[in-house]
Amino acid sequence: MQEQICFINGSFVPAGEASVSVFDRGLLFGDGVYEVLRIRNAVVFRPQAHYLRMQSGLDTLGIGNPWNEQEFACLCAELAQRNRVRGGHVYLQVTRGVAPRTHLVPRNLQPTLIGFAAEADLPKWKDRPSGLTAITVSDPRWARCNIKTTMLLPNSLAKQRAADAGAYEAVFVSEDGLVREGASTNVFVVLDDVIYTHPDDQRILPGITRAIVLDLAQAEGLTVKQQPVQVERLQDAHEVFLTGTTTDVGPVIRIDDRPVGNGKIGPVTAALMHKYSELLADETGTD
Ligand code: PDD
């Protein structure tokens, strides 16, 4: 098998030769942002949306964007192509750069750029009629979850807790009992023919898949309310589903060992799963 080819500060190098300084702010402070994009049929899905989100994160942190939109899209495509990925993901990360360690934020550093792409099993929940399971966990994160920073320790620990419990996802719940989002997904709850999802604010990541699914739901004539749901209401939910680049639309059929609705994939989720795969196929070609 060919060694993975990584992008680092303008060069493409084999993974074994790609390294960063121990003084990189990304390593020492989690001072950087990243994007994960879906590759399907060797096509990178919606690079523009990911570019715009990265731009907004970089602006908030005061880090210059090293790429324009076209360079970003070309780099993603080149990483996919150099690694011969047909179905999987491309990852791009920008950190503030290298500086002697200090809590003060150094200005005008040269950002560190990292990228890689890898083949991955893409979600095909429609082939798995059994659906997904999730657990709820308390949300220990900061109040700027809308920035896609590399500071993912709470997400990583929560995801591991879910895996240890035999579940796919951990759903973060705020101190006052509001359902926020998953460790790597956004969460939707269907209650009495209304689809609820947390509003696009500083407590969740503005998911690219979330935005697409909101459009699809609207086009289907479904009622959507961007309002948080109290965690107790998950017990009455007819359906729950997750959205994300590595999940697509993922039907949740059990949460905390209790069935969601009748414990089967519900009609709203099934319709949106179907619409989302149609859209992916439209934009990236049929298998
Ligand atoms: N995670 N919420 C969180 C906390 C996430 O990390 C992600 C994505 C999402 C879904 O966003 P999108 O639809 O843009 O992928 C929501 C990526 C896939 C990751 O960290 O691997």
Q: Which of 263, 213, 270, 203 is nearest to 235 (CA)?
A: 263
Q: Give the nearest ligand 1 atom to 181 CA.
A: 2
Rounded to an integer, the average pLDDT of 181-191 is 98
Is the CB of residue 139 below 6 angstroms from any atom belonging to ligand 1? no
**Predicted local distance difference test score (pLDDT) of residue 124:** 65
pLDDT beyond 90 at 129: no
Residue 126 has pLDDT above 60, yes or no: no
The whole-number pLDDT of residue 127 equals 59
Q: How close is the Cα of 247 to the center of ligand 1, in Å?
A: 9
Please count the CA atoms within 13 angstroms of the CA of 132 that sit on its side-chain side: 28
The closest residue, in CA terms, to atom 19 on ligand 1 is 184
Position 202 scores a pLDDT of 98
User: How far apart (Å, rounded) are the C-alpha atoms in residues 150 and 145?
Assistant: 11
Q: Is the pLDDT of residue 1 over 90?
A: no
CA of 150 to the centre of ligand 1 (A): 11
Per-residue pLDDT averaged across 199-219, rounded? 98
Structure tokens at 232: 């107790």
Please, what is the average pLDDT of the chain?
A: 96
Return the pLDDT at 263.
96
pLDDT at residue 28 in the model: 98
CA of 100 to the centre of ligand 1 (A): 31
The band of 128, judged by pLDDT with boundaries at 50, 70 and 90, is: low
Give me ligand 1 centre to Cα 213, in Å: 14
Cβ 247 under 6 angstroms from ligand 1:
no
**Residue 215 pLDDT more than 60?**
yes
With 0.85 as the threshold, say if the pTM is over it: yes
CA pair distance 208, 186, nearest whole angstrom: 10
Helix axes 267-284, 208-219, angle to 10 degrees: 110
Ligand 1 atom closest to the Cα of residue 205 is 2
Query: How do residues 137-147 score in pLDDT, each as one tens digit?
Result: 999 999 999 99
DSSP letter, residue 257: T
240-269 mean pLDDT: 96
Residue owning the nearest CA to atom 16 of ligand 1? 185
Q: How far is residue 52 from each of residues 208, 238, 244, 261, 279, measured CA to CA in Å?
A: 10, 34, 17, 37, 20
Confidence check: pLDDT of 151 > 90: yes
What is the band of 2 on the pLDDT scale with cuts at 50, 70, 90?
Answer: confident
- The reply to whether ligand 1 has any atom less than 6 angstroms from the CB of 197 is no
Q: Which residues are marked as active site? A: 148
Confirm or reject: Cβ of 208 under 6 Å from ligand 1: yes
For 64-94, write each residue's pLDDT tens digit.
999 999 999 999 999 999 999 999 999 999 9
